[in-house]
Copies of this chain bind each other. A is one copy, B any other.
Amino acid sequence: MTVTIRVATAADTPLILGFIRELAEYERLADAVEATEADIRRDLFGENPRCFCDIAELDGRAVGFALWFYNYSTFKGRAGIYVEDLFVSPEARGRGLGKALFRGLARRCEDAGLGRLEWAVLDWNAPAIAFYDSLGAGALDDWTVRRLHGEALRKLAGS
């Protein structure tokens, strides 16, 4: 059994969109997926990439992904990595692929002098929480993310 992590290319666009949809189903948010292949191609592989993607392979077959972008800590005065999505197909779980994806991101942080690696987890996702605890990841329990979108965002912009 060989686990490989590789950087995604434009040819992976349909694969990545498939993983995004599978993850959304797992998160009970399937209706929220509006992204198209054109969106993914433009924002990951276009002239002005907004985010980046690693693919996890098991014996040469793509079975998972991590999609990330650079965030920033003003306290550290250093950029970091924020993992927006991380997913391993159910049939490939328990073989260390999730950890291999995180390890790859941690190495990228260390190699590039980035200060931290962050992501968010749904409160009911007990298997994920146990895995993140095992990595030694702290929980920012006293912070809540706030979000403006849709009509509220338009209203503020027009005020």
Contact = CB atoms under 8 A, between A and B. Distances in A.
Q: Report the contact-size class of chain A (Cβ under 8 Å from the partner).
A: 35 or more
A41 B107 CA distance: 26
A122 B80 CA distance: 20
A35 B75 CA distance: 6
A116 B140 CA distance: 22
Mostly helix, strand, loop or mixed at chain A's interface?
A: mixed
A138 B149 CA distance: 9
Interface of A: 20, 23-24, 29, 32-36, 39-40, 43, 50-51, 67, 69-80, 82, 84-85, 99, 102-103, 106-107, 109-110, 115-124, 132, 135-149, 151-157, 159
